[in-house]
């Protein structure tokens, strides 16, 4: 007798694997809490090893071409799985029958044109799978769907998620697709917990579990102000990221009662386009010092990373801006080993996520999959834990739970959501010292005490 009697179109094998198998759970871990637990972050007594799995082959990291990807779009669903697919209740495996299940749907761009997005989706899927394995209770049904990286694909995936009974939508990644998902989810009262860092797409019912650069800028400016800095300067790229950072910088400086005395930008990421603006801002600083008793600026924001930062930073001391007198500041783009080894950045400070909270996740992920997680993978892990909290209880109070004033504490530290959907993140301040990053102002682990 034929063993295969039915075919269902699914965009990626990982999606089916998730639909059929992702209601497993492991033994003991610390789930994301509505408020921080006391004690050291990420330390769990007798933590068992996560399950060993073999992830699907991901594209070559060196291949950055945005060519269409060929995907096997037909996959056989065995007879045994057929009873678990239905439009009203979604997927319910036998061991969960009769349980008060929490249904969350994860929307990721598995078959996007961009190889980088496909790699990101694969790593985020594994992180979500790990979160499910590590939950202490087998009470979460996780449905994984492919957005294809497009708005139409996102709308289709969101519709399918709601038909399968999702209480919360996790994802998508791209800002325009977040809007597409909410067009389908919002009328049903289903919250969307997305991974975009574009704050313009956030609103009530549509929340961003991310690290927007605006939050990092506000944090680093606040730290500088607490150290007595009043006059600020900016030297950065004239691109989408740089313009967002500059707008946030202007607002943050104004909030602390400071003054933005100099702004220089450049178009590109090569040292040849950086030299002239770097010299102009250095000349302004030198002229200020010679004509007054105070420096023209006491801190300068350099929102670059990688090779671009290593080209930009040395231009400051080369043109006479002494890092011993001027505070060099950065965003999370500074957070890589090469930055720590750049002499011009010694003593510089930057804002980034709490590394202590993330340590256990990194260890568990590498142990389970033998690989390093992508930059957004930890967000997917936290999203599963947070989604379970939001899905637990009266559907009419989901929004109230996600906007809890206590916030949540997960692998990326503390986060709280307001009615505007934007994340209030617990961000640490680091200093570059002796080729390492040292925490000089820890990330908060909970809401600020009321004054």
Please tell me the predicted confidence (pLDDT) of residue 98: 52
Q: Which residue has the tokens 């930009």?
A: 312
Q: Give the lowest-confidence range in 29-33, 300-304, 335-339.
A: 29-33
Strands 231-237 and 259-266: parallel
Burial 27-50 (b: 16+ CB within 10 A, else e): eebbbbeeebeeeebbeeeebeeb
pLDDT tens, position by position, 386-428: 999 999 999 999 999 999 999 999 999 999 999 999 999 999 9
Cβ–Cβ under 8 Å, residues 238 and 266: yes
* Model pLDDT, residue 410: 94
- pLDDT band of residue 289 (cuts 50, 70, 90) is low
The whole-number pLDDT of residue 292 equals 57
Mean pLDDT along residues 104-116: 96
Highest mean pLDDT among 41-50, 62-71, 111-120: 111-120
pLDDT band at 136 (very low <50, low <70, confident <90, very high): confident
Residue scoring higher pLDDT (420 or 50): 420
User: Would you say residue 71 has pLDDT above 60?
Assistant: no
- Decide which of 341 and 33 is more confident: 341
For residue 113, count CB atoms less than 10 angstroms from its CB and return exposed for 0-12, middle for 13-18, buried for 19 or more.
middle
Return the minimum-mean-pLDDT range out of 87-101, 329-343, 358-372.
Answer: 87-101
Token pair 């004033």 is at which residue? 405
CA-based nearest residue to 208, from 225, 223, 192, 229: 192
Where is pLDDT greater, at 445 or 39?
A: 445
Is the link from the previous residue into 209 a cis peptide, with omega within 30 of 0? no
Confidence of residue 270 (pLDDT cuts 50, 70, 90): very high
Query: Which pLDDT band, with edges at 50, 70 and 90, does 81 fall under?
Result: very low
Position 137 confidence tier, pLDDT thresholds 50, 70, 90: confident
Q: Quick one: which H or E segment has residue 104?
A: strand 102-108
Pairing of strands 192-194, 168-170: parallel
Q: What is the mean pLDDT of residues 72-84?
A: 31
Q: In the predicted model, is pLDDT for residue 316 greater than 50?
A: yes
Q: Which two tokens stand for residue 427?
A: 């961000």
Q: Count Cα neighbours of 129 within 13 Å in the Cβ-side half-sphere.
A: 26
Q: Is the pLDDT of residue 338 over 60?
A: yes
The number of beta carbons lying within 10 Å of the beta carbon of residue 324 is: 8
pLDDT score for 104: 96
Task: Work out the pLDDT band at 447, boundaries 50, 70, 90.
Answer: confident
Longest dimension (CA), the chain: 93
Tokens of 82: 């057929």
- Closest residue by Cα to residue 346 from 377, 376, 316, 375: 316
Q: Considering the chain, what is the average pLDDT of its residues? A: 81
- Whole-angstrom Cα distance, residue 423 to residue 435? 31
Residue 383: name the closest of 86, 147, 113, 170 by CA.
170
Residue 376 has pLDDT above 60, yes or no: yes
% the chain with pLDDT above 90:
70
Domains annotated for the chain, with CATH where assigned, are 7-210+356-423 (3.40.50.2300), 213-354+429-441 (3.40.50.2300)
Q: Which residue has the higher pLDDT, 389 or 53?
A: 389
What whole-number distance in Å separates Cα of residue 406 and Cα of residue 400?
11
- Contact assessment for residue 293 and residue 250, using Cβ atoms and an 8 Å cutoff: no
For 61-65, 128-132, 292-296, which range has the lowest pLDDT when averaged over its residues? 61-65
Instruction: Identify the bridge partners of residue 436 per DSSP, sorted by sequence position.
Output: 433
Give residue 37's pLDDT. Answer: 29
- In whole angstroms, what is the distance from residue 181 CA to residue 283 CA? 49
With beta carbons less than 8 A apart as the criterion, state whether 115 and 65 touch: yes
Of 20-24, 107-111, 121-125, 328-332, least confident by mean pLDDT is 20-24
Q: What is the pLDDT of residues 195-245, one digit of tens each?
A: 999 999 999 999 999 999 999 999 999 999 999 999 999 999 999 999 999
């Amino acid at each position: 007798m034929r063993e295969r009697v039915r075919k269902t179109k699914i965009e990626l094998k990982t999606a089916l694997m998730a639909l059929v198998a992702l209601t497993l759970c492991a033994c003991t871990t610390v789930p994301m809490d509505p408020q921080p637990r006391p004690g050291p972050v990420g330390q769990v007594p007798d933590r068992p090893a996560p399950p060993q799995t073999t992830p699907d082959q991901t594209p070559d990291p060196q291949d950055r071409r945005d060519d269409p990807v060929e995907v096997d779009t037909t996959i056989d669903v065995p007879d045994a799985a057929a009873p678990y697919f239905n439009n009203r209740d979604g997927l319910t495996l036998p061991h969960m029958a009769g349980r008060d299940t929490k249904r969350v749907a994860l929307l990721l761009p598995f078959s996007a044109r961009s190889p980088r997005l496909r790699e990101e989706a694969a790593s985020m899927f594994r992180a979500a799978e790990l979160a499910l394995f590590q939950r202490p209770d087998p009470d979460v049904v996780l449905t994984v769907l492919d957005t294809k990286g497009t708005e139409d694909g996102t709308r289709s995936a969101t519709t399918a998620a709601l038909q399968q009974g999702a209480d919360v939508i996790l994802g998508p990644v791209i800002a325009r697709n977040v809007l597409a998902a909410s067009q389908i989810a919002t009328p049903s009262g289903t919250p969307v917990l997305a991974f975009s860092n574009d704050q313009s797409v956030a609103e009530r019912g549509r929340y961003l579990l991310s690290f927007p650069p605006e939050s990092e800028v506000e944090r680093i400016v606040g730290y500088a102000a607490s150290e007595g800095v009043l006059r600020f300067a900016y030297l950065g790229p004239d691109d989408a990221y740089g313009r967002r950072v500059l707008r946030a910088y202007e607002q943050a400086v104004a909030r602390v009662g400071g003054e933005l005395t100099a702004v220089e930008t450049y178009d590109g990421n090569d040292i040849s386009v950086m030299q002239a603006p770097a010299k102009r801002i250095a000349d302004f600083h030198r002229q200020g010092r010679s004509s007054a008793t105070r420096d023209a600026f006491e801190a300068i924001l350099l929102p670059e990373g990688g090779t671009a930062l290593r080209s930009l930073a040395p231009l400051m001391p080369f043109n006479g801006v002494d890092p011993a007198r001027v505070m060099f500041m950065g965003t999370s783009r500074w957070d890589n080993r090469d930055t720590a080894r750049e002499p011009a950045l010694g003593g510089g400070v930057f804002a980034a996520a709490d590394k202590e909270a993330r340590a256990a996740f990194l260890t568990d992920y590498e142990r389970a999959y033998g690989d390093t997680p992508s930059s957004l993978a930890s967000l997917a892990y936290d999203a599963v834990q947070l989604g379970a909290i939001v899905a637990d209880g009266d559907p009419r109070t989901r929004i109230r739970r996600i906007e809890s004033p206590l916030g949540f504490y997960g692998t990326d530290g503390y986060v709280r959501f307001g009615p505007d959907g934007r994340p209030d993140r617990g961000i640490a301040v680091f200093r570059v010292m002796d080729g390492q990053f040292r925490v000089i102002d820890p990330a908060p682990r909970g809401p600020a005490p009321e004054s």
